[in-house]
Structure 1
Amino acid sequence: MVIKKCPICSTIVKGRTDKIFCSAKCKSIDQYEKRQETEAFYLIVDRKLRTNRKILKKYNKSGFSTLRKSKLICEGFDPKFFTHYWKNQKGEIYLFVYEYGFLKKKYNGKEKYILVTWQDYMN
């Protein structure tokens, strides 16, 4: 007879020969840890996108505004996270976080973002 130990708490497993965990609690802990490992990347990206959207929405109430880059970055904005982009006729590329877009520009040596809201003509 082989004595099995629970991989979570190292308690001796009693019962069926194919039983892996000592209790439902340890089985649940194992499933939770596995799920966290596989979903961690998606959760991080989703959190960053939601944060970016919230910040863009806060500062773009009129549908078109200009704001210093440092102000957005201070709030927690991360320009590396966006959902899609749109290129205008001038060749400028607006990055969008869902329906809120931003374009990096330099005015008088200071980096700023032009904030816009998605419009029907952008399709």
Structure 2
Amino acid sequence: MERLCLDCGTPIKGRADKKFCDDSCRNNYNNRLKTEDHLVLRRINSILKKNRTILAQFNPNGKAKISRKKLISAGFNFDYHTYSYETQNGNCYIFCYEYGYLLLNNEKVLLVKREESLWLA
């Protein structure tokens, strides 16, 4: 059975466990794998940054109410957030870094900003 280089597809000579014909092909292959991973991370981080910017824009004073439709029309993506926090009375705040929101029952959203002293704890 002839072994082929994972990068360029040329036949490989040498050790039985060898996967690449030379160091250049090994580097190309591994760099391509890392690039694909970085594209996914870059896309998700971009969405998170955009969500944070939108929350900050609509919440300049630390607490505000806004309609869900207004957030969506600004480009907010409810599927991406950094963490959630459940209060003792059962409310679940969703955060995108230090800015968060609580979905209210009448298509309204309560926007909040976590205080820095709590953030560092």
TM superposition score category, shorter chain reference: 0.5 to 0.7
Q: 8 Å contact 1:84–1:98 — kept in the other structure? A: no
Alpha-carbon shift at residue 43 of structure 1 (Å):
5.0
TM-score, L = length of structure 2: 0.68
Q: Percent of aligned positions with the same letter in both sequences? A: 29
Shift of 1:31: 1.0
Structure 1 residues 117 and 88: CA distance shift in structure 2, 3 A: farther
Equivalent in the alignment of 2:51 = 52
| Counterpart secondary structure, 1:27 | helix
8 A Cα contact 1:66 1:114, kept in partner: yes
Structure 1 residues 88 and 98, CA, compared in 2 at 3 Å: closer, same or farther? farther
- Aligned match of 2:84: 84
Q: Which residue of 2 aligns with 1:70?
A: 69
Q: Contact 2:4–2:12 at 8 Å: present in 1 too? A: yes
Unaligned runs of 5+ in 2: none
CA distance in 2, matches of 1:71, 1:28: 47
Aligned residue pairs: how many?
Answer: 116
8 A Cα contact 1:95 1:102, kept in partner: yes
SS for the counterpart of 1:113 is strand
Cα deviation code 1:45-70 (max 9, x no counterpart): 44432222122112211111122212
Q: Which runs of 5+ in 1 are unaligned?
A: none
Q: Determine the C-alpha separation between the residues in 2 that align with 1:73 and 1:97.
A: 15
Q: What is the rounded CA distance, in whole Å, between the counterparts of 2:75 and 2:24 in structure 1?
A: 37
Shift of 1:41: 6.1
Say what the alpha-carbon RMSD is for the aligned residues: 3.3
Are residue 7 (structure 1) and residue 6 (structure 2) matched? yes
Cα distance in 1 for partners of 2:73, 2:26 equals 42
Name the counterpart of 2:19: 20
